[in-house]
């Protein structure tokens, strides 16, 4: 895996190791996968304008996110059920992130408890909250995250109902993942994965370890978490109870940002859930300028969806993002080779970001701004008034 040179190549390694249903559950999107594909195509449409006569002999791609220094402007997005990729799951992702000097957002549907993941390095972790249906459960979960020393609470707001992911329907995927006869059959040709899935560290059927630290777990596990509308009332309620930084993930229009920043939200993640929820939603990078303009410096703006190259990260920063997140890329790494696969994914991004920044004529990534982007290929910042 150390010889893998790109994220696309890592994806092929993941495909080789995983049963079809599991690969599809990670790789796929909703509906016709229009948004999922557009997340990448939109990055491809954007062209860069390198500055040739810049001294790039000394370079610095480090930055800060909500006051925390990170080695590069790339973080790991929350991905639930990482255990289906590899039994090391969130523990492996967290260790790799700490090693690379960046941040890992631990999913609200993780396979390990929030305390177990926090022990790897709370400073480098965000806790992604799927808001439970009732306040008592929510209060308990938020309290547990605070006691485990998570500094950032990242509430996902783009998943009010279960999405229509057709690959999963076709493959008969159940969540939590249960071993069916069909899967055992598929497992014959994927012995590495099957052995790890059945006998790896978490060789038990309980997928949602996170909720073990919380008594509402049983209630939520039966309905499968995540699918809950989050309203402005909930954001105010969370702001009153969470004393660390508050990030809202899943923002897709500028006109909602003012209310969020007025409510005291510190960070906004422009995201369509990697094209896994509403098919037909705009590509994240196309939405970014609208949200950056609306946030008006009152919150840090992050973006995820379709980022597969270091140059994609630079494009996002030039359009105003503070940093980017990636989901599938590290899940491919995890599936291909566990912790060392995630290490390699982070190494690929770090090298590509540094290399592209040098070729772009930008020695400090803080200096990235709109002149590095060809306006002809850039989306209009605001298509709607208000
Ligand atoms: C397998 C998988 C599981 C995910 N689970 C969650 C989750 O539990 N919570 C969440 O907020 N987002 C979740 N996401 C969305 C990611 O956080 C992120 O928004 C998305 O993957 C970014 O797009 P990319 O995969 O193209 O990088 C998941 C994505 C994948 C691929």
- Cα–Cα distance for residue pair 183/181, rounded to 1 Å: 5
* Per-residue pLDDT at 302 exceeds 80: yes
Tell me if residue 384 is catalytic: no
Distance (Å, whole) CA 193 – CA 205: 16
298 pLDDT more than 80: yes
> What local confidence, expressed as pLDDT, does residue 172 receive?
87
Please pick, among 13, 236, 273, 384, the residue that the annotation labels catalytic. Answer: 273
Q: Give pLDDT, residue 200.
A: 86
- Count of residues in the chain: 386
pLDDT per position as a tens digit, 9-60: 999 999 999 999 999 999 999 999 999 999 999 999 999 999 999 999 999 9
Do 82 and 331 meet the contact criterion of CB atoms below 8 Å apart? yes
Q: In sequence order, what DSSP letters do the residues of 109-170 get, joined into one string?
A: T-SS-HHHHHTT-GGGEEEEE---SSHHHHHHHHHHHHHTT--EEEEE-S-SS----HHHHH
Instruction: For the chain, give the longest Cα–Cα distance.
Output: 62
Which pairs from 298-301 meet CB under 8 Å and 24+ separation?
A: 298/261, 299/257, 299/260, 299/261, 299/265, 299/266, 299/267, 299/268, 300/65, 300/66, 300/266, 300/267, 300/268, 301/267, 301/268, 301/269, 301/270
- CB of 304 within 6 A of ligand 1: the answer is yes
Q: What percent of the chain has pLDDT over 70?
A: 90
Please indicate whether residue 275, judged by its CB atom, sits closer than 6 Å to ligand 1.
no
pLDDT at 7: 98
Q: Is 254 helix (H, G, I), strand (E, B) or coil?
A: helix
Expressed in angstroms and rounded, the spacing between residue 335 Cα and the centre of ligand 1 is: 15
Average pLDDT in the chain: 91
pTM: 0.94
Distance 77 CA to ligand 1 centre (A): 6
- Residue 272 alpha carbon to ligand 1 centre in Å: 9
227 or 339, higher pLDDT: 339
* Whether the CB of 11 sits within 6 Å of ligand 1: no
Residue from 79, 132, 165 whose mutation best tests the ligand 1 pocket (most atoms within 8 A of CB) = 79
177, 206 contact by CB (below 8 A): no
Atom of ligand 1 nearest to the CA of 109: 8
Handedness of CA 109, 24, 247, 35 (dihedral sign): negative
pLDDT band at 375 (very low <50, low <70, confident <90, very high): confident
Average pLDDT, integer, range 149-158: 97
Q: pLDDT tens, 264-290?
A: 999 999 999 999 999 999 999 999 999
Q: Is 42 helix (H, G, I), strand (E, B) or coil?
A: helix
316 lines ligand 1 (CB under 6 A): no
């Amino acid at each position: 895996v150390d010889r893998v040179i790109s994220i696309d190549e890592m994806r092929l390694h993941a495909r080789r190791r995983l049963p079809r249903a599991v690969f599809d559950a990670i790789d796929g999107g909703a509906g016709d996968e229009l948004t999922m594909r557009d997340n990448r195509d939109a990055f491809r449409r954007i062209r860069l304008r390198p500055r040739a006569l810049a001294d790039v002999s000394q370079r610095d791609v480090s930055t800060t996110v909500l006051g925390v220094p990170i080695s590069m402007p790339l973080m790991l997005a929350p991905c639930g059920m990482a255990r289906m990729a590899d039994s090391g799951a969130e523990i492996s992702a967290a260790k790799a992130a700490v090693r690379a000097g960046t941040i890992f957002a631990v999913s609200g549907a993780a396979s390990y408890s929030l305390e177990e993941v926090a022990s790897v390095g709370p400073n480098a972790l965000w806790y992604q909250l799927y808001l439970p249906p009732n306040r008592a459960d929510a209060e308990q979960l938020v309290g547990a995250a605070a006691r485990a020393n998570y500094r950032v609470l990242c509430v996902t707001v783009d998943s009010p109902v279960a999405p229509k992911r057709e690959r999963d329907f076709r493959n008969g995927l159940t969540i939590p993942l249960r071993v069916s006869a069909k899967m055992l059959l598929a497992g014959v040709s994927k012995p590495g994965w099957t052995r790890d899935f059945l006998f790896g560290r978490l060789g038990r059927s309980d997928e949602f370890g996170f909720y073990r630290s919380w008594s509402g777990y049983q209630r939520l596990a039966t309905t499968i978490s995540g699918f809950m509308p989050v309203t402005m009332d909930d954001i105010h309620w969370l702001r009153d109870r969470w004393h660390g930084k508050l990030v809202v993930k899943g923002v897709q229009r500028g006109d909602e940002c003012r209310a969020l920043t007025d409510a005291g939200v510190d960070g906004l993640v422009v995201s369509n859930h990697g094209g896994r929820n509403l098919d037909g939603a705009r590509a994240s990078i196309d939405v970014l300028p609208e949200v950056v303009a609306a946030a008006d410096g009152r919150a840090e703006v992050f973006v995820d969806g379709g980022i597969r190259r270091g140059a994609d990260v630079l494009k996002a920063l030039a359009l105003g993002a503070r940093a980017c997140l990636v989901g599938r890329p590290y899940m491919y790494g995890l599936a291909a080779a566990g912790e060392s696969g995630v290490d390699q994914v982070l190494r690929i991004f770090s090298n590509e970001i540094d290399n592209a920044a040098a070729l772009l004529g930008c020695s400090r990534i803080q200096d990235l701004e709109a002149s590095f982007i060809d306006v002809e290929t850039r989306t209009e910042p605001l298509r709607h008034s208000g």
